[in-house]
Chain A
Amino acid sequence: MVGLATIWGWFAPYFPVVVIVVVTTVVAWVADLIIGRLMRQSTPQMARTARRLGVVVVAVIGGTLVLQAVGLNPTVILLVIGLLGVTVLVALREPLGNYGAKYFSDIYTPFKIGDTILVQGVSGKVIEINPMTTVLLSENDQLISVPNVALIRDVVINTSPQAWKEVAIPVSLGATVDLPTFESDLLKSLTKLRLRLDPRFPPVLTTKSRTAQSTDLVLTLMIRRPEDRDAITLEVNKRLAELLDRMRGGLR
């Protein structure tokens, strides 16, 4: 018969590790929740990135504590990881720059697929935005590839008619959210903002992609006055967050 004392004897050396892993998991979950709440009025990409960053920071701290608990010196390991990171950053600075620029241009640059833009002296209709480049189709049927980093660094002019009016807000729904109910409630909520929106263009919700886990949509609004753009974006994001809070399983 193996006694409890014997079992504890086997387990005891690992107990601090288990505690650290459990505590790290709980702290990461709480951090994710708090950051999500704090970022509720931001764009979904920003909120998602901030939450992911928070979880990674907590995980790194937890991992360091685990290494100490099992008797390893984390300093050397962190140094090696840091040096590897710097090497990768230097080697891949061009593509990573473009990738990062795509992330920020998705959020901050006011154009979308289908718009006509002028950047670095070339003009064309945006037909593709991939992680590295934005592809334009010129009037004489030429494909023009613009590195995404140029869209952050240089002046971009959106020459599409009434481009200033359009506000496109991305929305991600978890698989458990009932899309018809969400859309219906959202449209009802947006009727309250109608004085700030162009009466000829009611809000439209368009499905962009769908997986078993989530549905990505874009809510398109047309504003009446250019100076309302930021305020309306914030207000709509707030309403979206409240709506998704009410509907369990919502992701943003």
Chain B
Amino acid sequence: MAPLSLCINTQTPLIQFLRPLEGDRLDPASRDPTDLTTLREGVDYRFSPGGVTRMVYPLIRRLLREGVLSEAHWVALNPHAPPVVRLGATTLHNVAIDVERMAGYGKVKEAIWSRIHEIDATERHDDLFWTEAFAEYAYYNRTTAELIQTLDREHDFDVFYVHDFQQMPVGHMLGSLKPKIFRWHIPFDVATIPEQWRAMLTTYLDGYDVIVVSAERYADALQALHPRGKVLRLYPYLDPADYGQPSRATVNATSARLGLGPRDVVALVVGRMDPIKGQDLAIEAVATLAEEHPRLKLVLVGNGSFSGSSTGLGLSKSGAWRDRLESLVRERHLEGRVLFTGHLPQDDLDCLYERCRFTVLPSVKEGFGLVAVESWLHGRPTIVTDRAGIAELIRDGVNGLLFDPERPGDLAEKMRSLLEDRSGKLRARLARNGRTASRHCSLETAARAEEQMLAEVTEA
């Protein structure tokens, strides 16, 4: 296969800018790339936390290194960034829209998110596609599609790879005959999709040659809604090389800095502050176990998403959720037993994975759940909600523990089984088998699958 020219599109950008840049770097008319090597990481910019940095970027780098790709152009929503940024062989193109339109766009994407995740059963959003806010959602997607078309005229891309539901209309709007791939990252369950949305979703999904989802059950559901489409299941992935093992001294120092004593038994939850992430379930479970296990501490790592951050879209919902969790901690008299660390750099996170007894993925619903894979890579057992995509990789009691988030006490019971595993045999077995299972979600496995998919769509 000849090296491909790829255009990738995500809502969340790879790079977030932490402060305004001087000169004309923010001039929307300027298409001169800003060279990222002239800026300082942590001062001028940072890599966005989450999937784009841990998953998509490593894949692009690898495919460029292996010669599968000749170049990559990455289009994302990034209102506080220079229009074009050069990052090695990858060029980042940033889309900006004004504040009023952003509000409308944010309203629609949150409504889709809530509906798919069944967050608020009272608010069905049946008429979403008829609202004025939807016109702004269309505006953002059309602006993105127009930029991609302009870039296509300059670079003659071989394939377009569009990520996540926020960008779903882009494929249809591109109107290009070239291959288009869409990756649907969130859960997919036909029952959660209102009747009034289905024709529109089908129209948008028709804009793609292949639709990629993160679990078999999502693939089945999507195929049922959209029988004409080609649907593939590819597990999300991480690069194990990114997960180092810090020294014992570093782990101890970091733990002390974060308020953990040497005898504390740590349960770790990593996820942004969002009701869907179910941190409240973990707090309730700790409340149940607090008296039996007085050394148990729950550590909640994470902040808002790109949408909620001040360097992102400013559509915050994380603050309210954190307030609610803190109030729950007070109600259950768990002050000092539950720690909120906010966002942590990867080195600190590595220390916490090493320090914890086990991790919990308590989400009410979860597209996949890569934090369970991170836990496996650090040799820690994990307790996972059965509503996560990764649940289909977990054999209960063999490589992890599954719980039902709607069954009161189920999570506490699973946590108890690990806390009372005096011999450590259960934890060792879960960790050992978990590491084996993590190979399904390694960059190595994914790169082969993605490469094959690119070959199929471009050479079909």
Partner-B contacts on A (CB < 8 A)? 179-181, 183-185, 187-188, 191, 194, 199-202, 204, 206-208, 210
Contact = CB atoms under 8 A, between A and B. Distances in A.
Contacts of B131: 191
Interface in B122-141: 126-127, 129-132, 134-136, 138-140
A204 B203 contact: yes
Nearest to B169: A204
A202 B200 contact: yes
B146 interface: yes
Closest 4 CB pairs of A and B: A207-B175, A184-B139, A202-B129, A180-B142
Contacts of B139: 180-181, 183-184
A204 B131 CA distance: 14
B136 A184 contact: yes
Contacts of A181: 139
B172 A183 contact: no
A183 B138 contact: yes
Given A199-B130, A200-B199, A184 B138 contact: yes
Nearest to A194: B130
Interface residues of B, number: 27
Interface of B: 101, 126-127, 129-132, 134-136, 138-140, 142-143, 146, 149, 172-175, 195-196, 198-200, 203
A73 to B, nearest CB: 53
Contacts of B146: 179-180
B142 A179 contact: yes
Contact of A199 (B101, B149, B196): B196
Contact of A200 (B101, B174, B196): B196
A194 to B, nearest CB: 5
A187 B127 contact: no
A190 B452 CA distance: 43
Contacts of A187: 134-135, 138
Nearest to A188: B135
Given A180-B143, A184-B136, 11 more contacts: A179-B142, A179-B146, A180-B138, A184-B135, A185-B135, A187-B138, A191-B130, A191-B132, A200-B199, A202-B134, A206-B175
Contacts of A194: 130
A161 to B, nearest CB: 12
Which of A183, A185, A194 has the most chain B CB within a 10 Å cutoff? A183
Contacts of B127: 199
A202 B135 CA distance: 11
Nearest to A187: B135
